[in-house]
Amino acid sequence: MSFIVGGKSIKNRLFVGTGKLPDYSILKRIYEELNIEVFAVAVRRINPEKGKGYSVLDFLPKEAVIMINTSGARNYKEAVKIAMIGREITNSDWIKIEISGELKYLLPDNEETLKAAEILVKEGFKVFPYIFPDLVLAKKLEDIGVSAVMPLGSPIGSNKGIDCELLLKAIINEINIPVIIDAGIGRPSHAAKAMELGADAVLINTAIATSPDPFSMTKAFSMAVSAGRLAYEIGLPKEQEHASPSSPLTDLIRGETK
Amino acid sequence: MIEEVLKEADKILKERNQKTSIENFLFKEKLSPYELLILLLDDNDENLYLMAEVSKKITERYFGKVINLFTPLYLSNYCTCGCSYCGFSMENRNLKRIKLNEEEILKELKTIKSFGIDSILLLTGCDMINTPFEYILSGVKIAKDMFSEVAVEVYSLKEEEYKILAQNGLTGVTQYQETYNKEVYDKLHPYGPKRDYYYRLYTQERALKGGVKEVTLGVLLGLNDPIEDVFKMILHAEYLMKKFPNAEINVSFPRFRPAGTNFKESFKITDKMMLRFIFSARIYLKNVGIPLSTRENSKFRDALIGYGITKMSAGSKTCVGGYSKEYYSGNQFENEDKRSVEEIIEVIKRKGYRPEFTNWVKGVVA
C-alpha cells in the first residue's frame, strides 16, 4: 500500500495539516499510534527564536516527514522566500506551495504557484503545489519536475468533500506523478472517495483540528483512507443503470440457459 | 467608492423597523445588508445563543482552534488633536507628554519580547511635529528585527508613506474611524489632523495600496448610535474585502472607557450588545479577523474565546514606557484585563484553544 513520493516511501496515505490544531501535543501520539508520517507545517507557525514550546517543531517526532507550507504568501516571490526560510529552520526540503489568490475561499493562485514551482524545483526542493484542479497546469507542473500535485477537493475548511470529481479524475488519469487531494475533505467518507478515485494521498487539517476528539478523528480518517485505497487497488465495480445477475438462478429464471 | 456604500447603508438604516425571524437566513452562505441589520437589531436572548453557535462553527472553519496574541506599545502620547473622548487629547493639560527615543523603544520591545509575544502594534498620538513620519519609520525598523508582525496605529498617512513603511517591515495598519456619523464625528474632532473625516476614511485603502497585508477597522462604541456605526463598519470591511481580496481585514469593537477626561459617552454599550455585534460581524463576514482588546474585562474576554474573536491583546499597558517601567505617564484609556501574557495563555489553553504568536514570516514582507 505504500507509495514513493518526494524520494521517500510513505506507508500512510493520510497526511495531516497542523495549522488549526488546538494543541500540538497530539502530534506525537498520532505519529506513534496511528503511524501518520507526513505533517504539513506552516512556516508562519514556526517560531524558531523562542524555544518555549510553542513552535510546532518542538512537538513533531524527529522521524516525521515535514512538509513545509508557504501559507500566507501572496505571490511567488513571498512563497520562494518563505520556502527558503522554512528549509533553513526545519531542514526539510518538502515544500507545499500555497499562494492565496483571495482570502474568502482561500483559492490558490495557480499562475503564481507555477512561477514559484519553477524556481523551487531548480533550487532543489521537493515541490508539492497546492492548486485549483486544472489539468493543463498539473501537466506543466509535472514537466517542471514537481514531486506531486495537490489539487483541492473543495475550498479549504469547507467540509464539502470532493466537489469537482470530474476535474480531479482528469488529473489523476493523465499525469504520472502522485496526486494528493488537499482541502475541503470534511468526513472520512470524503477521504475514502478521494482514494477510490485513485488519489495517492489526502491531506486533512480542519476536519481533524476542529473535531471534539482530534485523535480519534485522525484514526477514523486513516481507516477511511486505507479502505478507499484498498478498494481502488482491487478495482471498483462499474456502476450500471440496471441490476445485473448475481445468482446462477437468474439465468434460469430468464430462460437463457444453453 | 466607500461613500456610496455608506449612502446605501443610510437608506437601509431608515428601514430599521423591519422584523423578520433571523432563523430564515442565519445559515445562508451570504447574507444581505438588510439581514445584517436585522441581526444587529435583534434583541431575543434565544437568538443570541443561536448566533453564538453559528459564529463558533464559522470561526473554527476559517481560523481553527487558535487565538493570535499581540501587544500594543505606545511610543508617544503627544497629540495635536482636541478629541473630547481621548486621554491623549491636547485639551488634557494634566497629561505628562512623553516620547520614547530609539534606545527606549528597544528596551520596551525587549521587555515585550520576553513575554513570548511576536506581534506588536506601535501607537502614537496624532502629532506630526513631535512624532513625524521618520519617527514612525524608525520605530518600525527597530521592531521588525524582533517581531514577525509589526502594525502601527498612528495618524493617517499618505499612500507613499505606507509604501515606505511596508518596504521596511510594516505588516499591518490599525485605524479607527471612531464614528461613521459625519455630524457626530465633526463635533467630537474640533481641531487637529484627525478632523478630516474623509481622509481618515480612506486610510485603510491607502495602506493596502501601499503594500501592507493587514488592516483593522474600528469604531469607538459609545460615541454614536452603535447600530449605525457597527453596521457601517462591517459594510466598510466588506467593501475592502471585495476590493483587496488578498488582504487580511479585521474589525474591532472597542467600548469607550474612562480616559482622564470628563467625557461621558452618549450610548451605553452592554455586554449583550457587544456579543451581538461580534457575532453579527462573524456571520456576515465569515473570514474577517476580530481582535478583542484588554479594554474588556477578563470574564468577558474568556467567554468569547471560540465564539468569533481571532486575536487578543495581552499584557497591555496603555501608557508610554509602561513595560520597562521607566516612566509612568497617563493612560489613553483604562485597561480592564490586567492579567499577564502567561495568564492569558493559560486561559486560552484551558478553553481548548492554542495561543499563537506568529501569523507571518518575519522578513518576507520587507
B336 pLDDT higher than 90 = no
Cell of B119: 506581534
What amino acid occupies position B192?
G
Chain B hits for A104, CB-CB cut-off 8 Å, are 241, 245, 286-287
Residues B52-71: pLDDT tens digits? 999 999 999 999 999 999 99
Q: pLDDT confidence of A48, banded at 50, 70, 90?
A: low
CA angle in degrees (0–180, nearest 5) for A17-B58-A132: 50
B334 pLDDT higher than 70 = no
**How much is the pLDDT for A44?**
82
Q: Please give the mean pLDDT across all residues of chain B.
A: 90
pTM for the structure as a whole: 0.88
Indicate yes or no: CB of A44 within 8 angstroms of CB of B360: yes
Scanning A174-203 for CB atoms below 8 A from B yields: none
Picking from B358, B359, B365 by the largest number of A CB atoms within 10 A of its own CB, the best residue to mutate is B358
Residues B190-207: pLDDT tens digits? 888 889 999 999 999 999
Long-range Cβ contact pairs of B286-290 (< 8 A, separation 24 or more): B286/A104, B286/B58, B286/B61, B286/B62, B287/A103, B287/A104, B287/B62, B287/B241, B288/B237, B288/B241, B288/B249, B288/B250, B288/B251, B289/B214, B289/B216, B289/B248, B289/B249, B289/B250, B289/B251, B290/B250, B290/B251, B290/B252, B290/B253
A251 pLDDT higher than 70 = no
Q: pLDDT confidence of A105, banded at 50, 70, 90?
A: confident
Tell me the three-class secondary structure of chain B, residue by residue: CHHHHHHHHHHHHHCCCCCCCHHHCCCCCCCCHHHHHHHHHCCCHHHHHHHHHHHHHHHHHHHCCEEEEEEEEECECCCCCCCCCCCCCCCCCCCCCCECCHHHHHHHHHHHHHCCCCEEEEECCCCCCCCCHHHHHHHHHHHHCCCCEEEEECCCCCHHHHHHHHHCCCCEEEEEEECCCHHHHHHHCCCCHHHCHHHHHCHHHHHHHHCCCEEEEEECECCCCHHHHHHHHHHHHHHHHHHCCCCEEEEECCECCCCCCCCCCCCCCCHHHHHHHHHHHHHHCCCCECEECCCCCHHHHHHHCCCCCCEEECCCCCCCCCCCCCCCCCCCCCCCCCCCHHHHHHHHHHCCCEEECCCCCCCCCC
What's the mean pLDDT in A51-55?
A: 60
- CA torsion B337-A21-A67-A200 (nearest 10°) is -160
Q: pLDDT confidence of A244, banded at 50, 70, 90?
A: low
Indicate yes or no: CB of B66 within 8 angstroms of CB of A54: no
| Candidate from B64, B241, B247 with C-beta closest to A209 | B64
DSSP class per residue in A8-49: EEES--EEEE-TT-S-TTHHHHHHHHH---EEEEEGGG--TT
What's the mean pLDDT in A209-215?
A: 93
DSSP assignment letter at A57: G
Cell of B302: 474568556
For A57, A98, B45, B80, the CA distances from A73, given in Å and listed in that order, are 20, 7, 41, 39
Indicate yes or no: CB of B354 within 8 angstroms of CB of A205: no
CA atoms of B316 and B73, how far apart (whole Å):
8
Q: pLDDT confidence of B110, banded at 50, 70, 90?
A: very high
A53 pLDDT higher than 70 = no
B283 pLDDT higher than 90 = yes
B286 touching chain A per CB within 8 A: yes
CA atoms of B356 and B362, how far apart (whole Å):
15
| Candidate from A73, A85, A104 with C-beta closest to B287 | A104
Indicate yes or no: CB of B61 within 8 angstroms of CB of A19: no
B330 pLDDT higher than 90 = no
Chain B hits for A158, CB-CB cut-off 8 Å, are 61
**How much is the pLDDT for B17?**
66
B119 touching chain A per CB within 8 A: no
Chain B hits for A205, CB-CB cut-off 8 Å, are 64
A132 pLDDT higher than 80 = yes
Give the pairing type, strands B66-74 and A38-42: unpaired
A139 pLDDT higher than 80 = yes
Indicate yes or no: CB of B245 within 8 angstroms of CB of A102: yes
CA distance A159 to chain B (A): 9
Residue of B nearest to A18 (CA): B64
A35 closest CA partner among A3, A5, A65: A65
Q: Greater confidence, B13 or A55? A: B13
**How much is the pLDDT for B363?**
73
* B104-116 core/surface letters (b: 16 or more CB in 10 A; e: else): bbbbbbebbbebb
B136 pLDDT higher than 60 = yes
Q: pLDDT confidence of B173, banded at 50, 70, 90?
A: very high
**How much is the pLDDT for B365?**
65
Query: For B260, left (φ over 0), alpha (ψ -120 to 50), or beta?
Result: left
What's the mean pLDDT in A220-244?
A: 87
CA atoms of B156 and B213, how far apart (whole Å):
17
Q: Name the strand (E) or helix (H) holding A150.
A: strand A150-151
| Candidate from B63, B354, B358 with C-beta closest to A47 | B358
Looking up cell 449583550 gives B272
A22 pLDDT higher than 50 = yes
Residue A62 has phi, psi (to 5 degrees) of: -60, -35
Residues B78-109: pLDDT tens digits? 888 888 887 888 777 788 888 999 999 999 99
CA distance B191 to chain A (A): 38
A253 pLDDT higher than 80 = no
Q: pLDDT confidence of A51, banded at 50, 70, 90?
A: very low
Residue of B nearest to A23 (CA): B354
